[in-house]
Structure 1
């Protein structure tokens, strides 16, 4: 079992680039398609606890976010972030790379190789 997990959306070019980076480095990783297997509240809280980025950065601010009537004020706290992502998993940034007890959002793409090497 690998100590690297990628929360992946195969439709996302940045997420696919993260998988390519993993393959190029020879790193073994568990790839979890989080839209098919959404994270529950406990898993999201665990992820946020490991995240090197600001927790609110885990939420995508795309057209779907706006369609739901959400604003930055709706994802300002960990509780709010977890509630939004449990209800709308597609709003989670991708890819997210978890290595041991640390995690990053794999944007921009070059962060992934540096994170894996560290």
Structure 2
């Protein structure tokens, strides 16, 4: 199993850019179409911890059921938000990348360069 993973949406130009940058760096990551294979609640907790993000920072609002699900409610707990992300993966922002150098939500897309060997910070 590769130690490089991308939670990818092939329809997203940012996600495609990040995947191409990884491949251009000689890395063939495990590509997980997170909408077809949604992360579990436990995987989301681990991803948030690894990337140093709050659940709200990983929420995607544009072109998702974010509003319909009421995810903007400030009273929702982190656990409720994570459960919603697992049940409705379209509300997970992308791409999320995991590497030996760390994990990150690669928005802006150039953030990938911080995670690639011999590049970034």
What range is the shorter-chain TM-score in?
A: 0.7 to 0.9
- Check 1:25–1:38 CA distance in 2 against 1; reply closer, same or farther (3 A cut): same
Question: 3-state SS of the aligned residue for 2:97?
Answer: strand
The alpha-carbon deviation at position 114 of structure 1 amounts to 1.8
Gaps of 5+ in 2: none
Which shows bigger deviation, 61-70 or 16-25? Answer: 61-70
Q: Indicate the structure with greater helix content.
A: 1
Question: 3-state SS of the aligned residue for 1:19?
Answer: helix
Instruction: Name the TM-score, length of structure 1 as normaliser.
Output: 0.86
Question: 3-state SS of the aligned residue for 2:6?
Answer: strand
The alpha-carbon deviation at position 76 of structure 1 amounts to 5.4
Taking the aligned partners of 1:85 and 1:28, their CA distance within structure 2 comes to 26
Q: Is the 8 A contact 1:9 1:33 kept in 2?
A: yes
Which shows bigger deviation, 25-34 or 43-52? Answer: 43-52
Count of matched residue pairs: 117
Taking the aligned partners of 2:95 and 2:28, their CA distance within structure 1 comes to 16
Which shows bigger deviation, 100-109 or 13-22? Answer: 100-109
Gaps of 5+ in 1: none
Question: 3-state SS of the aligned residue for 2:115?
Answer: helix
Q: Pairwise CA RMSD of aligned residues?
A: 1.9
